Structure 1
C-alpha cells in the first residue's frame, strides 16, 4: 500500500487538466454503444476482413507479450477476455486491480488487442495470445487527470509492460518536463513501445498536437475508414505517425457480447496489437525498430508521410512478413533496382509568325478543296435527279396518247 500513496496524492491535484478518452462516441448508426452488451457479433468485422489472419499468425499470436491498457478498466469476465487479463492497477481507487469496467471503453480497447477466438463470433483480437494488464485511469465522470495518467504510465512500467496503449488525450501539460512527459520518457527509455491515439477534433480542422501522442518516442495513431482515408473526426498534424481502422469498430463490451464504436481510441489498440505480435516474433528488436517497421510497411497513398495518416494505414501482415533486418526510422519507398523515370515527351519549339502563317495557309487550302469537292458532288447529284424526273414524265420510248374511236 505504501507504493500507492504517492499515486493518491497525485490524483488529488485538481488543478491539472482532465484526460479524456479519445473516442468519437458513435456506434454503427451514429448512436453510442448500449451497455451491457449481451448480443455477440456473428460476422467478421470489416477491420478484420482486410487481414489474412492465418498468414498474420503464421509465426506467433503474441504469446508471452504483456500489453498495458491505460483506460477505464477491463471487464475480465467477458468470455473472450477470460484468461487474457491479469490483475493490474487503479489510479482512481488505490488498491484496485483495474478489472471491471462500468464505462466499457477500456474493454473495447482490450478486445481489439487480445480477445480470444470464440465460437459464434467472427470477432477476435489481432494478438489473441497476448496478455492485457489493465490500468484504470479514468471513469464515466472524467476524473482522470494528467497526474493520474502519468501515474498510470509509471504503474504500467512497474508491471513490466512491453507495449503500452493509451487511448486518452489531454489538454495539457505539453512540456516534456511535466509529470506526464517525464513518465512517458521513462517508458520510452525502458524500451517499451508506447502507442497513443491522436485525438478526435479533426472535423474542426484542429492541428494542435494531442498528448501523450505528440511526445517524442510515442507512436501517434490516427483513425482511417474503409477506404484507407483519414476518418473525418481524426485529428491531423505533424505529430501523426500512422493510421489504423477507427470507424465502426466492433469489439468486446462489458457483458457477454460486442459493441461498435468509432474513434482514434480504437485505432490505437489495432497498432498496439501489431506491436505485440512483433515483440513476440522479434524479441531482440528495440521499440524504435518495431515502430519503424510498422511505419515502413504501412499502406500509403503518397511516397512518404503526411499530416493525415502519417506514414500510411498499418498493414499487419506486411509488418510481420518482412525480412529480419531491422531499421531505426521509416523512409520513402525506394524505386526498384534499375528503374528510372520515363523520358519526357519532346516539346515543340515556340511558334513563330512564319510557321503560324504557313500552317494557316495549309488549313485554308485543305478547306477549299473540301468545299469544292462538296459543291461539285452536290451539283452532280442535282443533275442526276432532274434527269430521272424528266424521264418519268415523258414515259417510255414510242408511247403516244390513246384516243377513243
Structure 2
C-alpha cells in the first residue's frame, strides 16, 4: 500500500569537543551553502523579517538555543502531541526541529551555532504523527489537510512540507486544503523525495499543481543520486547533501535529503516575500524559477526543474510580474479530474498511513564502489555483455542443433 511519509534523511550526529566557542564555530563552518550559494550576500538585502513560515512536520522544539524566539505559534493535529506543536511526535521526532533550524535558526551568538536561511522569519509549527501505530486520533491524510488549513488561518506566508504520500495522487480532502492555501496567497514548498530511500519518482504533495517542488544537488551542484528524486513537477533544486541541523535535545546533526533542501527553498521564499511584501505567491515562485541556474539543461528538466536556486538574483533581478502561478492551477486540475462521472483513481481517496521512509544508504568507500555495480556499469557494461553472451549462447545451441540434424539426415540417406 502506498504511504504518506516524512521524507527521511541520512543523519549523522556531530561529535564536537573543546570550549563552547570552538564548538559553535565548527558547526557554522559546516554550513557551506551560506557562502557557496550567496546567502550571506543576500542578507545584506533582507533576513526574512516580517514573514511567517509554517512547518508541517513532527513538531518543532522552540526551546533549543537556535530557535528561541523563532517559534511564534503552533498546534498539534495528531491528538498525541502538545497543544503548541512543540513536542516532537511520531517515529522520527527529530525531523521537524532539524527542518526548522535549517530554515530559520538564529545561531547562538555572533558567528556561532546553526543559522538558517531566513534567520529573522517567524515560525509556526504543526505536529503530525509520522509512523505506524502512533496512537494518532485522525488519519494521516486528515492530519495533513487540517494542518494546511490551520497554517493558513494562523497567518502563514510560506508552508514547508518535507513529506511525501509516496503516490502521485492525493485524497480529495487535500484538494480543499491546498486550494484554500492558494486562494489565500500562500507559497507551499514540498520535498521531491529521496531516490536512495526508494522514492524513484515524485509523490504528493509535490505533484499537486501550484506547489513549489524541490529536488536536491550535491556539493558540486550536480543532481544528487541518493538524496533527491526526479519528476516533471520539480520546480527548483537546492543543496541536499551534508547539511547541518539541530536536534530537539540541542545537539547538532549532519544530514542529507530533500527534507533539508525544501527548508532552504522555503527560507529563500521568505527572503523574497520580506523584500517584496506586495508580491503575490505566484510572483514569488516566478522570481525563484526565473532566476535559477538551469545548469546546462533545457527547462523545466526532470532533475533540476527550472534550475538550481540563486538567492542574490532572486532578490535583485528585474523579473516581470505575472498573473497566474507558473507551476499550474489546482482549481483547473480539480475541474478536469474530479468530475462527478469520473472514476476515482486507485488509492486516491484511501486514507494512507504516515511512516518514515527508509534512510538513503550511507556513502560507500572507494573500495566498495569498485566492487559493486553502479548505474553506469549496469547500463554500459553489464547489460550489453549479458546480451552478447545470451545471443552467443543461443547461436551456439542453434549451430549444434543444426549439425546434429544434418548428421541424422545423412545417415538416413546412407541407409
TM-score scaled to structure 1, two decimals?
0.70
Structure 1 unaligned spans of 5+: 1-15, 332-405
Counterparts of 1:144-183 in structure 2 under 5 Å?
145-172=140-167, 174-175=169-170, 178-183=172-177
For residues 244 and 284 of structure 2, the distance between their equivalents in structure 1, rounded to whole angstroms, comes to: 26
Q: Is 1:105 paired with 2:99?
A: no
| 1:316 CA displacement | 1.3
Runs of 4+ in 1 over 2 A off after TM superposition: 16-19, 31-34, 51-55, 117-123, 138-144, 201-207, 323-331
| 1:20 CA displacement | 0.9
Residues 146 and 173, structure 1, Cα contact 8 Å, conserved in 2: no
For residues 88 and 285 of structure 2, the distance between their equivalents in structure 1, rounded to whole angstroms, comes to: 30
| 1:17 CA displacement | 6.2
For residues 271 and 101 of structure 2, the distance between their equivalents in structure 1, rounded to whole angstroms, comes to: 15
| 1:152 CA displacement | 0.8
For residues 123 and 71 of structure 1, the distance between their equivalents in structure 2, rounded to whole angstroms, comes to: 19
2:225 match: 232
1:10 match: none
For residues 197 and 106 of structure 2, the distance between their equivalents in structure 1, rounded to whole angstroms, comes to: 35
Residues 30 and 244, structure 2, Cα contact 8 Å, conserved in 1: no
For residues 185 and 51 of structure 1, the distance between their equivalents in structure 2, rounded to whole angstroms, comes to: 32
Counterparts of 1:217-366 in structure 2 under 5 Å?
217-233=210-226, 234-301=228-295, 302-323=297-318, 325-327=320-322
Residues 61 and 87, structure 2, Cα contact 8 Å, conserved in 1: yes
SS at match of 1:86: strand
1:196 match: 190
Calculate the aligned-residue CA RMSD, in Å: 2.6
Residues 18 and 145, structure 1, Cα contact 8 Å, conserved in 2: no
For residues 204 and 173 of structure 1, the distance between their equivalents in structure 2, rounded to whole angstroms, comes to: 14
Count residues with an aligned counterpart. Answer: 307
Q: Is 1:125 paired with 2:116?
A: yes
Residues 157 and 187, structure 2, Cα contact 8 Å, conserved in 1: yes
Question: Are the structure 2 counterparts of residues 184 and 264 from structure 1 closer, same or farther at C-alpha, using a change threshold of 3 Å?
Answer: same
Residues 18 and 142, structure 1, Cα contact 8 Å, conserved in 2: no
| 1:303 CA displacement | 4.1
Question: Are the structure 2 counterparts of residues 104 and 33 from structure 1 closer, same or farther at C-alpha, using a change threshold of 3 Å?
Answer: farther
TM-score scaled to structure 2, two decimals?
0.68
CA displacement 1:338-367 (0-9 Å, x = unmatched): xxxxxxxxxxxxxxxxxxxxxxxxxxxxxx
Structure 2 unaligned spans of 5+: 328-415
